[in-house]
């Protein structure tokens, strides 16, 4: 099982309505989990392939479960078609 946010210190930037995180997704993995932190970037393994937004959708699902928030509170600001993404999570304070 992957680590939860309580077990590791996730690098983030605070903004007035939440946080911004840098994410590197690893699509087509054997399981979906937060796989750790490398160079201030959160590595996230996803089982979905990077086609037709499937990996982005699964990323949002995983983050909403991890932070226990609604999917609509998670916004991919940059990198929708890249493995490196900038993600805003509204209503979360770490």
- Encode pLDDT of 5-38 as tens digits: 444 578 999 999 999 999 999 999 999 999 999 9
Q: For residue 54, what are the CA distances in angstroms to 7, 28, 83?
A: 27, 11, 13
pLDDT at residue 8, as a whole number? 56
Is 62 a member of any domain?
A: yes
Number of structural domains the chain divides into: 1
Is 34 a member of any domain?
A: yes
Is 49 a member of any domain?
A: yes
What average pLDDT does the structure give for the chain? 90
Q: For residue 23, what are the CA distances in angstroms to 77, 79, 88?
A: 11, 9, 10
**Distance in angstroms (rounded) separating the CA atoms of residues 15 and 47:** 30
């Amino acid at each position: 099982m992957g680590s939860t946010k309580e077990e590791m210190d996730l690098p983030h930037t605070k903004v007035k309505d939440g946080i911004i995180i840098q994410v590197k997704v690893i699509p087509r993995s054997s399981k979906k989990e937060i796989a750790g932190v490398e160079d201030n970037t959160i590595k996230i393994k996803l089982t979905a392939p990077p086609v037709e937004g499937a990996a982005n959708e699964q990323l949002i699902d995983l983050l909403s479960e991890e932070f226990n928030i609604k999917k609509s509170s998670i916004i991919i600001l940059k990198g929708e078609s890249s493995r490196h993404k900038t993600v805003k999570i509204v209503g979360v304070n770490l």
